[in-house]
Amino acid sequence: MTVVDRARPARRPRQAADADRGILSPSDLRRRPVRITTRLTHTILLISLIVVGLGPILWLAKSAITPTQDTLRQPLALWPNGMDWANLAEAWTRVEIDKYFLNTVIIAAGVWLVQVLVATTAGYALSVLRPRYGRIVVALVLATMFVPSIVLLVPLYLTIVQPPLLGQSLINTFWAVWLPAGANAFNVLLVMRFFDSLPREVFEAARMDGAGPYRLFWSIVLPMSKPIIGVVSVFAVIGAWKDFLWPMLVLKDPNLQPLSVRLPQLQQFIELDVFLAALAIATVIPIVLFVVFQRLFLNGAGMGGAVKG
Amino acid sequence: MTQITPTTARPPAPDTLPTVEFAQERAARRRPAPLAWFRGDGPHILVFLIPLLFSFVLFSWRPIVDAAVMAFQQTNLVTPPEWVGLDNFATVLQDPLLGTAVLNTLYFAVLALLLGYPIPLVVAVLMSEVRRARGLFSALAYLPVVVPPVVSALLWKFFYDGSPNGVFNTILGWVGLGPVPWLSDPDWAMPSIVLFATWSAAGGTVIIYLAALVGVAPELYDAAEVDGAGVWRKVWHVTMPQLRGVLLVTFILQIIGTAQVFLEPFLLTGGGPANSTTTVLMLIYKYAFQSSMGGDYGAATALSIMLAVVLAVFSAIYFRITKSWSTT
Amino acid sequence: MRSSLTRGASAGLALLAAGALLAGCASGSGTDSSDGKTTITVAIDAGLEKEARANFDARVEAFEKANPDITVKAQEYTWTATTFTADLAGGTLPDVFTIPFTDGRGLIANKQIADISDLVAELPYAADFNPNVAQAGQSEDGSQWAVPIAAYGQAVHYNRSLFEAAGLDPDDPPTTWDGIREAAKKITDATGEAGYATMTSGNTGGWILTTLVNAFGGRTENADSTEPTIDSDPAVAEVLQYLHDLRWDDNSMGANFLYDWGTINQDFASGRIGMYVSGGGNYGNLVTQNALNPDDYGITVLPLHGDDPGVLGGGTLAAVSPKADDAAQAASVKWIDFYYLAKITDEDVAVETAKLAASLDQPVGAPELPIFNAEQFAEYQSWIAPYVNVPLDQMTPYTDNSGDQPLIAEPRTATQDVYALLDTVVQSVLTDQNADIDQLLADAQAQAEALYAKAK
């Protein structure tokens, strides 16, 4: 996905990705020493990436079905005494990984909804409808990005324990994780920037046809925003999946805890091989999601490439 | 959410705001009367802003203000908070653990920078030259980032077992190197944590660098070659300057991220051995959530504010210095 | 859609949403005596098996039948010291909950649990509590604010199969600290595993250090709990020197020095540790949760030497939330009596509990200390004897001798925070060969003194 900045010329400059060259030109590559060196470095790089990036995960998969004693005594051997598939079943049922898994899914779904809702409505209001006081709101939102999140930890916690309008605390409810998730300045700015890049003519035309602000949002802007909603969604779900400190503080009831909070505590209660199986199960979904939505992830992560000079 | 989970590398903020358009549009519009605002779009804009305002007021702006206030109060959640002036700051500054935490955090930041700044760059440069299957490389590099940090931490904690049968020690044993104590030794603990943190987050940095690298216009390389530049000179004189913006931004973001490291030491060592891996954030957590006498929220917020101020000052100085360096 | 209609609809939606958010159900935990009945919420352990939960519900029914004016609601709750105040302020505390001995006196001093001493005094066995055990739940003036419901003493757990592999007799474990040192060395030499291991993190380092100090005849605070004696009591330095020698001279403590309660149990259960010190009741966790082979389990008493040694005691107290009103407090005490203490004082309930536990493969008969006195304890054990499923003959080194050992209460002031300080000391000694023990103790003493001063 490329974000066309209106300040730049209409024609996108040729990028190295389109060209048939990068640092090395085609003529460079015709020289044998260069070709050999390049191929060699790339092979080494690939092997390194496999060992370093994939290695630990493969080990986890292997150990998930290895009995404890084998993992302890010969951690790198491949099933010297056979596989132990019961680990997975035990992790799923006795340790109730399925329950914590479900909690993680519920939390991620709620966080996704909240973040998409806040970001799209706010982006729409600030970028398309453009109220006069919009600048102030944007500045205030931007300012929060410069405050390290740790500063908010304690007051946010106390806000959840004693919420201003409700009579009772939100501790041990999923709301304690869902609601604060909306206050994500990065998402808002991301969506705003995207909306800025949408052609105004479409909006003017729709307005002249008599569409009110709600119609415009629902029927015109939202359908056009699929790419950015995709990016926000990916970040939201991954962020919620990985979140640790905050859910640990506000979800005390083990029945509500997601995997990230429960797994460290579980270590105290279950034997090693079942524990590793639980870890493996916890890793499967993010990895599967990643493999399926690779392009979305990598494009979103590379957004920073748009930041230059 | 105002990302409560600190990471060692965050995506950078988008660059500019379209302030030019605001001014133009304002000039083009005449200021409508209040009634017209009401009959016009005014209230609807507010409706669209309700989710944002609700979220930010309750969970961002108010807590920030609260933090500033709480730093000067004594809060115990049962009785109303009382004002104690600078007492909380004094408590924090007099804590012998503060010096240790600050030094540990600095140590972590420096090590993380040494390891996590150049390596992703080298990897990204190499990857940018890959013609086919670059996607595979990217996916492999990014994979550790996708694994939930808690899972990685617990996994690596096991890898770091100090006995000769530990996973890493077994591998070292293959090349004849003795068992390393890893997390059980104050000298090895922090580097071990940095190694893990880098593994976990470097992929994100690689992808960011890669995206910037493929954005470098090939004409620049063509021009350099016309001038007779070899591979190294092209890298040094074309690639690096073009990446300057990204490099500067990722540098400051890494500093800010590593200053807030919490999850890795918390899960891997709990701050030990002998407080050699206790960081500033762990100290804040300890003040607020690990005191059996109820939780010193005032000290926790005071220390958070101190950290925020230090980071803000550092960022300001940084942007001042680097302003002249960036290619604007 | 006409714009005026959408305008109205949207305004309505917004109001509705706001209203829905504000209209959270107001009934939190706590008491409700509006209809003459008192409702109390009581804590139960999280993750109970189906039959255990069914059993609990049956007990609730029986209680409500016997007390028609009380309704009992169960709430899964595990007490944690560090978030207690937040729980209290946030209203998520049940009326009845359990706390470890360590935290009892601190909570009482801060009035963070209800004063139910008058109600407790009315119980038939109020005067029969073992004084060592009862003091954990008493205020300064001796009134019983929290009820002890379980007690244990520290012990040495050892792995019988590692003993055999090292040529030691598993039925004849060491009875002195020198003996433990020798056995540890033999185990390491023969098997490569840690002969002796100790906890060091999450406040457990200080807890076990205090245990050893007590066993060596010393104390970490003075008699009236006003001053710490960390650097003045010679036993503290003696224990650290002992650990230092085991670690650096004998190399018999393995390679992991960041154990806490859960992880040391795990490693012991997987056969990597020969001996370690922990609470006497660990058998359950080791076997059911960490898959220890019961044949490998052995337990013996802490060796005692020195002038005035003793065994550190621990246990569980039942407490009532300070937010409970009078009716709720009375109901709560009735529940505590019915649910927690009847298991020990009433034969039928004891038998039923034991039968259920045995059917769920939970250990019955694991070593514990008497809450009342030795005779009552013996009587209780005779009731549950048919259902005991733990290897009692492997535990005789402990059960035969634990009754003779004097019990010592945990330090009273700033207990957990001092433990945290001592964690650092133990970690330093075990990970830094050149650690200056005297300097470490002096630093810890200074910091502990500050904590004691704050607590006054």
**Structure token pair of residue A43:** 């092979």
Which of A62-66, A168-172, B195-199 is most confident?
B195-199
Rounded CA Rg of chain A = 25
List, in order, residues 6 or more apart from A263 with CB less than 8 Å away: A100, A278, A279, A282, B150, B151, B154
**Using CB atoms, which residue from C110, C258, C428 is nearest to B184?**
C258
Asked if the ipTM is above 0.85, the reply is no
Residue type, B327: T
CATH no. of C38-145+314-345: 3.40.190.10
Chain B closest-CA separation from residue A59 CA (Å): 10
All residues of chain C having their beta carbon less than 8 Å from the beta carbon of residue B293 are 106, 110, 414, 417, 454-455
pLDDT of residue A186 exceeding 60, the answer is yes
**pLDDT value at position C441?**
95
As a whole number, mean pLDDT of residues C405-429 equals 88
Interface of B with C (CB under 8 A): 43-44, 47, 50, 76-78, 96, 161-164, 166, 179, 181, 183-186, 269-270, 272-275, 289-295
Chain B closest-CA separation from residue A203 CA (Å): 14
Res. A289 pLDDT band, cuts 50 70 90: confident
Helices (H), ranges, C201-346: 204-215, 234-244, 261-269, 283-284, 326-335, 342-345
Nearest C-alpha in B relative to C81: B292
Q: Which of B159, B184, B275, B277 to mutate to test the interface with C (most CBs of C within 10 A)?
A: B184
Nearest C-alpha in B relative to A134: B22
All residues of chain B having their beta carbon less than 8 Å from the beta carbon of residue A271 are none
Q: What is the largest CA-CA distance in chain C?
A: 93
Measured torsion, CA atoms of residues B50, B56, B59, B60, in degrees rounded to the nearest 10:
-170
Rounded CA Rg of chain C = 25
**pLDDT value at position A14?**
53
As a whole number, mean pLDDT of residues C372-379 equals 86
Mean pLDDT taken over chain B: 82
Interface contact flag, B56 A183, Cβ < 8 Å: yes
**Using CB atoms, which residue from C110, C255, C447 is nearest to B162?**
C255
**Cα(A61)–Cα(A210) distance, rounded to whole angstroms?**
58
All residues of chain A having their beta carbon less than 8 Å from the beta carbon of residue B77 are 158, 161-162
**Cα(C111)–Cα(C119) distance, rounded to whole angstroms?**
17
Helices (H), ranges, chain B: 19-28, 34-39, 42-56, 62-70, 87-94, 96-116, 118-128, 134-146, 149-159, 167-174, 186-214, 218-226, 231-234, 240-259, 263-268, 280-289, 297-323
CATH superfamily of A95-269: MetI-like (1.10.3720.10)
pLDDT of residue A129 exceeding 90, the answer is no
**Using CB atoms, which residue from A214, A254, A271 is nearest to C46?**
A254
Res. C167 pLDDT band, cuts 50 70 90: very high
SS3 percent helix, strand, coil of chain C, rounded to 5, is: 50, 15, 35
b (16+ CB within 10 A) / e for B69-88 = ebbbbbbbbeeebeebeeeb
**Cα(A178)–Cα(A72) distance, rounded to whole angstroms?**
40
All residues of chain A having their beta carbon less than 8 Å from the beta carbon of residue C80 are 252
Chain C closest-CA separation from residue B53 CA (Å): 13
Q: Is C170 helix (H, G, I), strand (E, B) or coil?
A: coil
The answer to whether residues C143 and C159 touch, using CB atoms and an 8 Å cutoff, is no
Measured torsion, CA atoms of residues A42, A46, A49, A50, in degrees rounded to the nearest 10:
-170
In 3D space, the residue among A182, A192, A190, A185 whose CA is nearest the CA of residue A114 turns out to be A182
How many Cβ atoms sit within 10 Å of the Cβ of residue C61?
11
**Structure token pair of residue A305:** 């490439």
**pLDDT value at position A222?**
86
Q: Which of C25, C92, C93, C296 to mutate to test the interface with A (most CBs of A within 10 A)?
A: C92
Chain A closest-CA separation from residue C4 CA (Å): 9
One fold for C38-145+314-345 and C155-310+406-455: yes
List, in order, residues 6 or more apart from C297 with CB less than 8 Å away: C157, C159, C160, C283, C286, C287, C391, C394, C395
**Structure token pair of residue C315:** 């246990």
Nearest C-alpha in B relative to A294: B139
As a whole number, mean pLDDT of residues A283-296 equals 84
Mean pLDDT taken over chain C: 85
**pLDDT value at position A220?**
84
Q: Where are the beta strands (DSSP E) in C247-371?
A: 273-279, 297-300, 311-320
Chain B closest-CA separation from residue C134 CA (Å): 21
**pLDDT value at position C429?**
94
Instruction: Select the more confidently predicted residue: C437 or B46.
Output: C437
b (16+ CB within 10 A) / e for B200-220 = bbbbbbbbbbbbbbbbbebeb
**pLDDT value at position B29?**
53
Peptide bond into B273 cis (omega under 30): yes
Global confidence as pTM: 0.80
All residues of chain B having their beta carbon less than 8 Å from the beta carbon of residue A264 are 150, 154, 267
**pLDDT value at position C17?**
41
**Structure token pair of residue A119:** 């970001």
In 3D space, the residue among B167, C193, C270, B162 whose CA is nearest the CA of residue A63 turns out to be B167
**pLDDT value at position B15?**
46
**Structure token pair of residue C154:** 């520290």
A 265-304 residues with CB < 8 A to B:
267, 272, 276, 279, 282-283, 286-287, 289-291, 294, 297-298, 300-304
CA–CA distances in Å: residue B290 to residues A68, A249, A253, B134, C86: 33, 11, 18, 47, 12
Give the distance, in angstroms, between the CA of residue C454 and the centroid of all CA atoms in the same chain.
Answer: 25
Res. C373 pLDDT band, cuts 50 70 90: confident
Q: Is A94 on the interface with C (CB under 8 A)?
A: no
The torsion region of residue C47 among left (phi > 0), alpha (psi -120 to 50) and beta comes to left
**Structure token pair of residue C306:** 């020195």
Measured torsion, CA atoms of residues C76, C79, C84, C89, in degrees rounded to the nearest 10:
20
**Using CB atoms, which residue from C83, C262, C291 is nearest to A268?**
C262
**Cα(C28)–Cα(C16) distance, rounded to whole angstroms?**
23
As a whole number, mean pLDDT of residues C281-285 equals 84
In 3D space, the residue among A101, A73, A70 whose CA is nearest the CA of residue A84 turns out to be A70
A 164-193 residues with CB < 8 A to B:
164, 179-186, 188-190, 193
**Cα(C318)–Cα(B205) distance, rounded to whole angstroms?**
52
What does the DSSP assignment read for C385-424? GGG--S-GGGSHHHHTTGGGSPEEPPP-SSHHHHHHHHHH
**Using CB atoms, which residue from A135, A158, A264 is nearest to B267?**
A264
Q: pLDDT tens digits for B74-119? A: 877 667 788 888 988 998 999 889 999 999 999 999 999 999 889 9
Length, in residues, of chain B: 328
Q: pLDDT tens digits for C230-266? A: 999 999 999 999 999 999 999 999 988 999 888 899 8
As a whole number, mean pLDDT of residues B246-262 equals 86
Interface contact flag, C92 A252, Cβ < 8 Å: yes
**Cα(B234)–Cα(B232) distance, rounded to whole angstroms?**
5
**Cα(B9)–Cα(B205) distance, rounded to whole angstroms?**
7
**Using CB atoms, which residue from A212, A283, A305 is nearest to B215?**
A305
**Structure token pair of residue A292:** 């399926």
As a whole number, mean pLDDT of residues B12-37 equals 50
Q: pLDDT tens digits for C10-52? A: 444 444 444 333 333 333 334 444 567 889 999 987 666 677 7
All residues of chain B having their beta carbon less than 8 Å from the beta carbon of residue C106 are 292-293
Q: pLDDT tens digits for C170-187? A: 999 999 999 999 999 999
B28-32, B159-163, C155-159, C207-211: range with lowest mean pLDDT:
B28-32
Query: Between A and B, how many CB-CB pairs are < 8 A?
Result: 396
**Domain limits of chain A?**
95-269
Q: Which CATH class is domain C155-310+406-455?
A: alpha beta
Rounded CA Rg of chain B = 25
Q: CA C39, C42, C46, C47 torsion: positive or negative?
A: negative
**Domain limits of chain C?**
38-145+314-345, 155-310+406-455
Q: CA A124, A125, A129, A132 torsion: positive or negative?
A: negative
User: Do β-strands C407-408 and C147-159 pair in parallel, antiparallel, or remain unpaired?
Assistant: unpaired
Query: Between B and C, how many CB-CB pairs are < 8 A?
Result: 95
| Percent of chain B scoring above 90 in pLDDT | 29
Instruction: Select the more confidently predicted residue: C26 or B63.
Output: B63
Nearest C-alpha in C relative to B38: C7
Interface contact flag, A214 C10, Cβ < 8 Å: yes
The neighbours of chain A, by the rule of 3 or more Cβ pairs under 8 Å, are: B, C
The answer to whether residues B4 and A152 touch, using CB atoms and an 8 Å cutoff, is yes
**pLDDT value at position B36?**
59
Q: Is A46 on the interface with B (CB under 8 A)?
A: yes
Nearest C-alpha in B relative to A54: B140
Q: Is A125 on the interface with B (CB under 8 A)?
A: yes
As a whole number, mean pLDDT of residues C68-94 equals 78
Nearest C-alpha in C relative to B275: C424
